[in-house]
Structure 1
Amino acid sequence: MDTTEKLEEAVAVLQQLGLKEYEARCFVGLIRLETGTAKKLSELTEVPRTRVYDAIRVLEAQGLVEIQHSSPQQFRAVPLDEATETLRDQYEARVERLQETLETVDTIDNQDESPVQEVWAMAGHDAIENRTNDLIEDASEEIVLVVGDESLLTEDLLDALEAASDNVEVIVGSLTESVQDRIRTAVPEATTFVSGLEWLGTETSVENDTAVGRLLLVDRSTILVSSIVPETKEERAIFGGGFGNGLVVIARRLMAQGLIPIRDPGN
């Protein structure tokens, strides 16, 4: 990635954090300059000079830019660590405000009866990891997890498993002994095993095959299965609850392939 691409990516991220395009371009421009006038900043960023002043006023109000009232005025960005912390605080405040607002919104009940069995599709690693961690946190009896892609075994996931292991039975399968050792170290109370489902792993998948990322069964009733899309490496999942005993028995016994018989959750 060359300098131009990096700058455009920075502008795009700043826009995602709430800045308008000219504001983002001026801030990125000032990060590159020790100090700059409106004229110099306009030449560097290609933001019209009259719009530079508007953008700087917004950036100053947000605590991202400082102004020296000389003639001509000089502008500079606050230190990068300080700027990123300010942006983080603003973003988190917006998210908290959004949550508080939506929690007070009245819901509309448009179903006479809730379905006994539900299956939903979801996409995106962060969303799937958050759902996985929430399901683990809500478990009351048993967690059975098989990790098919080592990259999904994040510190957040290990922390969630460790916290859950104090109250529920935690059973975790991996495809290799090295990953099993890592799980044992992080979650010493868990029962670990090397899964017999070799076809889960991305290393054994042929080109263009979709590999299974994770299989999770919580309290013998809620299932989450994710896959890794070969072209984009995006994680997608299906999630469901309220399943009948037949499907649960099959899922639990399939997921426990490689677990010694006495620890088989089907026994």
Structure 2
Amino acid sequence: MDEDDAIEALENLGLSNYEAKVFTALQKLGTGTARDVHRTTDVPRSQVYGAAESLQDRGLVEVQQSKPIQYRPVSLEAAESHLRGEFERTQERAFDYLEAARQQRGDGDERREDIWTVHGRASIDGRIEQLLAEAEDRVLFALGEDADPVGETIADCLRKLAASGVTVNVVGDDDVAEQFADSGVAVQQLPIDHPHADDPVGRVVVVDGEMILLSVRDERDDPELDEETAIWSSRTGIAAVLIQLIDGGLGEALSV
């Protein structure tokens, strides 16, 4: 990473272009005046004062009231802590607003659509967690052949549901059985000769016989580059049909 990359990264963390350049210049100088900063960077001297004052307000620069005024950056550890805190607070405010906007909209739009597509493991994990949060009666969670293990966050959700009285059935291998040992989660295995064992199925989630998520894996030569795409539907005719197909196609082990 060169200086331009570092300045761009600081901008991504919330600093203006001039603030990022002044802060970077002060790291080189240690202590300096507006003239020193101007000579080190392309920030106009008249703009150094405002940028330095803003950095002081952010807790990133100390100011010595001398003639001329001297500026000194805080330690990198302190700067990192301040910027991380600002970033997290900004993120929280943004997502608080987005959540409020979503609640005003309600779930009507999702219910009107028959089927939705989600791409990427993290996004799919999030959708599975949302579906599980609505479970009241029973849950089926099935892993395809050679699928990734059950993530601990989802596994914890399944354990808590089972402990609360929800019937939770998980279909997986011996490692999955060990993962849910000593919990209320029932683990079953597909027969070795199951006709769909070689399909690129990732995960199947059925909640209360009304909501379903089905993912498939796009296998690559490098396992780390494997991708996952899922479709999901909730309380729709499409969901009912898919659940029936899963029930009939995968047999008693996946009975919902």
TM over 0.5: yes
What pairs with 1:57-206 in structure 2 (closer than 5 Å)? 57-63=53-59, 65-69=60-64, 70=66, 71-76=69-74, 78-101=78-101, 103-104=103-104, 118-148=114-144, 149-150=147-148, 153-165=150-162, 166-174=164-172, 176-184=173-181, 188-196=183-191, 198-199=197-198
Tell me: CA distance 1:135–1:15, structure 2 relative to 1, closer, same or farther (3 Å).
farther
Q: What is the Cα deviation at residue 146 of structure 1?
A: 1.4
Q: Which amino acid aligns with 2:168?
A: V
Alignment-derived partner of residue 245 in structure 2: 250
Return the index of the structure with the highest Cα Rg. Answer: 2
Alignment-derived partner of residue 236 in structure 1: 229
Q: Which amino acid aligns with 1:91?
A: Q
Contact map agreement 1:217 1:252 (CA 8 A) in 2? no
Contact map agreement 1:146 1:172 (CA 8 A) in 2? yes
Matches of 1:11 and 1:129 in 2, distance apart? 31
Contact map agreement 2:170 2:187 (CA 8 A) in 1? yes
Contact map agreement 1:147 1:213 (CA 8 A) in 2? yes
Q: What is the Cα deviation at residue 21 of structure 1?
A: 4.8
Tell me: CA distance 1:213–1:74, structure 2 relative to 1, closer, same or farther (3 Å).
same
Matches of 2:219 and 2:189 in 1, distance apart? 24
Q: Which amino acid aligns with 2:210?
A: S
Scaled by the length of structure 2, the TM-score of the pair is: 0.70
Q: Which amino acid aligns with 1:240?
A: S
Residue 121 of structure 1: SS of its match in structure 2?
Answer: strand
**Residue in structure 2 matching 1:226, options 204, 215, 224:** 215
- Structure 2: runs of 5+ lacking an equivalent: none
Scaled by the length of structure 1, the TM-score of the pair is: 0.67
Contact map agreement 2:129 2:157 (CA 8 A) in 1? yes
Matches of 1:195 and 1:22 in 2, distance apart? 61
Q: Which amino acid aligns with 2:229?
A: R
Matches of 2:98 and 2:26 in 1, distance apart? 30
What fraction of aligned residue pairs are identical, expressed as a percent?
20
Cα shift readout 1:217-262 (whole Å, capped 9, x = no counterpart) = 11112111123444654432111132365542321354567x3xxx
- Structure 1: runs of 5+ lacking an equivalent: 201-210
RMSD, aligned CA: 3.9
Cα shift readout 1:23-51 (whole Å, capped 9, x = no counterpart) = 45666x4896694546777788x663555
Alignment-derived partner of residue 202 in structure 2: 213
Contact map agreement 1:214 1:226 (CA 8 A) in 2? yes
Equivalent pairs counted in the alignment come to 234
